[in-house]
Amino acid sequence: MTVIDANRMHEIEARYPEYFHRSFRQRFGGLMILIATLLYSLYAVWFFDLPKLFAEAHWERVGIYLSQWISYDVQPEFRIQDDGSIEVRYPRFSPLGDNPHPDWLVNNPDGSITVSISGTSRSVTVSKNKTIVTAHGVSVPVEVSSGAPKVIGPVPGWMTVYDDNVLADLGFAGNVSISVDRVKIRKRFIGWANFVFDTQSSFFDKPIGEVVSLIISEPRIKPDQSNLSLAFDDIWNNSEWQHGDVWTKLFQTIVMAFLGTLLGSLAAFPLAFLAARNITPNRLLNQMLKRFFDFLRSVDMLIWALFLTRAFGPGPLAGSGAIFLTETGTLGKLYSEGLENIDNKPREGIKSTGAQAVLVHRYGIMPQIVPVIVSQTLYQWESNVRGATIIGAVGAGGIGLKLWEAMRTNANWENVAYMVILILIVVFLFDAASNALRHRLMGTKTH
**pLDDT surpasses 70 at 447:** no
The domain containing residue 91 runs over which residues? 73-190
CB proximity list for 120: less than 8 A, separation 6 or greater: none
**Averaged pLDDT, 223-251:** 91
Name beta bridge partners: 182: 79
Give the model confidence (pLDDT) of 4-36 as tens digits.
Answer: 666 666 676 666 666 666 667 777 778 889 999
Please give the distance of CA 402 from its chain centroid, rounded to a whole number. 12
Establish if 57 belongs to a structural domain. no
pLDDT bin (cut points 50, 70, 90) of residue 219 is: confident
Establish if 329 belongs to a structural domain. yes
End-to-end CA distance of the chain: 50
Please tell me the distance from the alpha carbon of residue 319 to that of residue 402, in angstroms, as a whole number: 14
Residues 283 and 184 in one domain: no
**pLDDT surpasses 90 at 354:** no
Give the model confidence (pLDDT) of 94-127 as tens digits.
Answer: 888 888 888 899 999 988 999 999 877 899 999 9
Q: Among 190, 217, 251, identify where a domain stops.
A: 190
DSSP codes of every residue in 227-288: HHHHHHHHHHT-TTT-HHHHHHHHHHHHHHHHHHHHHHHHHHHHHHHHH-TTTS--HHHHHH
* One-letter identity of residue 142: V
Q: Among 174, 190, 206, identify where a domain stops.
A: 190
* The pLDDT of residue 285: 92
* The pLDDT of residue 444: 60
Residues 294 and 372 in one domain: yes
Establish if 223 belongs to a structural domain. no
* The pLDDT of residue 442: 66
Residues 406 and 268 in one domain: yes
Candidate from 22-26, 82-86, 346-350, 429-433 with smallest mean pLDDT = 22-26
Residues 312 and 438 in one domain: yes
Residues 250 and 186 in one domain: no
* The pLDDT of residue 214: 87
Establish if 29 belongs to a structural domain. no
Please tell me the distance from the alpha carbon of residue 348 to that of residue 355, in angstroms, as a whole number: 10
Q: How many domains, the chain? A: 2
Phi-psi region of 87 (alpha: psi -120 to 50; beta: other; left: phi over 0): beta
Please tell me the distance from the alpha carbon of residue 266 to that of residue 322, in angstroms, as a whole number: 15
Q: Among 190, 209, 230, identify where a domain stops.
A: 190
Establish if 447 belongs to a structural domain. no
Using CA atoms in the order 366, 368, 372, 377, what is the torsion angle rounded to 10 degrees? 20
Is residue 253 a contact partner of residue 392, using CB atoms and an 8 Å limit?
yes
* The pLDDT of residue 18: 61
DSSP codes of every residue in 141-197: EEE-SSSS-EE-SPPPTTEEE-SS-EEEE-GGGEEEEE-SSEEEEEEEEES-TTSSS
Work out the angle at residue 119's Cα, subtended by the Cα atoms of residues 115 and 122, and round it to the nearest 5 degrees. Answer: 65
* The pLDDT of residue 9: 66
* The pLDDT of residue 445: 57
Establish if 170 belongs to a structural domain. yes
Establish if 388 belongs to a structural domain. yes
CB proximity list for 253: less than 8 A, separation 6 or greater: 319, 385, 388, 389, 392, 397, 398, 399, 400, 426
Q: In whole numbers, what is the pLDDT of the chain averaged over residues?
A: 86
Give the model confidence (pLDDT) of 380-407 as tens digits.
Answer: 888 888 888 888 887 777 888 888 888 8
18 vs 46, higher pLDDT: 46
Give the model confidence (pLDDT) of 255-267 as tens digits.
Answer: 999 999 999 999 9
CB proximity list for 343: less than 8 A, separation 6 or greater: 368
pLDDT bin (cut points 50, 70, 90) of residue 3 is: low
Residues 316 and 412 in one domain: yes
Residues 181 and 249 in one domain: no
Residues 392 and 279 in one domain: yes
Percentage, residues of the chain above pLDDT 90? 31
**pLDDT surpasses 90 at 332:** yes
Residue 385 has a CB neighbour count (10 Å cut-off) of 22
Establish if 203 belongs to a structural domain. no
Give the model confidence (pLDDT) of 290-327 as tens digits.
Answer: 999 999 989 888 899 988 888 888 888 888 999 999 99
Please give the distance of CA 416 from its chain centroid, rounded to a whole number. 8
Is residue 86 a contact partner of residue 111, using CB atoms and an 8 Å limit?
yes
pLDDT bin (cut points 50, 70, 90) of residue 42 is: very high
